[in-house]
Structure 1
């Protein structure tokens, strides 16, 4: 009986250790961009504490056949933001530093990845 409890305790500790050793990382702060809505109005979208090391195709500008790209990104997170002209982190890219100034309307984007 003791062996069974010991094995269960060790398995539980190993599971907890594995979960703690590979934490998910999120960039702290906000990433904003502008885009033109379907009705022609200029809108602003914000990603709050976005996930890092994962490509994020941006809402409102994801489909090149149905929408114009986003523009004027502002990276106010603690990670670098690499913005891409295409969805799924494809196309031309531009690196925005952490807590940088807003980019101009000329910088177009459809996806982003945050990296340390």
Structure 2
């Protein structure tokens, strides 16, 4: 059990480090969401300056084999379209820049940030 927790924490750090893009095509700010892991723990993930104009499958919830994430919060400078399915498929919902957090009823697996024209 403790090894699994350590591995989960290590992977979370790696995912967050890799989520910071080196490209100029990035939303400025943070995008976060919550999820429940396979041991029933409530966890949160924050993507710092996520990539724009590309579909992002959300870490830990971007697969149909796990429960989706919920309660997304777009605190970036760009509109975010969240998708219930992986690979930006399924029902969608738009979150305004620097908006309030959504409720846990909004399920998410992927997100797309629209860069300004």
Structure 1 length normalisation: TM-score? 0.78
> Which runs of at least 4 in structure 1 moved beyond 6 Å after TM superposition?
none
Is 1:48 paired with 2:40? no
CA deviations on 1:19-77 (whole Å, 9 max, x unpaired) are xxxx7410000000000112110000000000000000001101112x11000000000
Structure 2 partner of 1:110: 109
Provide the aligned C-alpha RMSD in A. 1.0
Structure 1 partner of 2:89: 90
Q: How does 1:9-88 map to 2 (within 5 A)?
A: 24-65=24-65, 67-88=66-87
CA deviations on 1:72-91 (whole Å, 9 max, x unpaired) are 00000000000000000000
- Find the aligned partners of 1:98 and 1:43 in 2 and give their Cα distance: 23
3-state secondary structure, aligned to 1:88: helix
Unaligned stretches of 5+ in structure 2?
1-22
Unaligned stretches of 5+ in structure 1?
1-22
**Structure exhibiting the larger radius of gyration computed from Cα positions:** 1
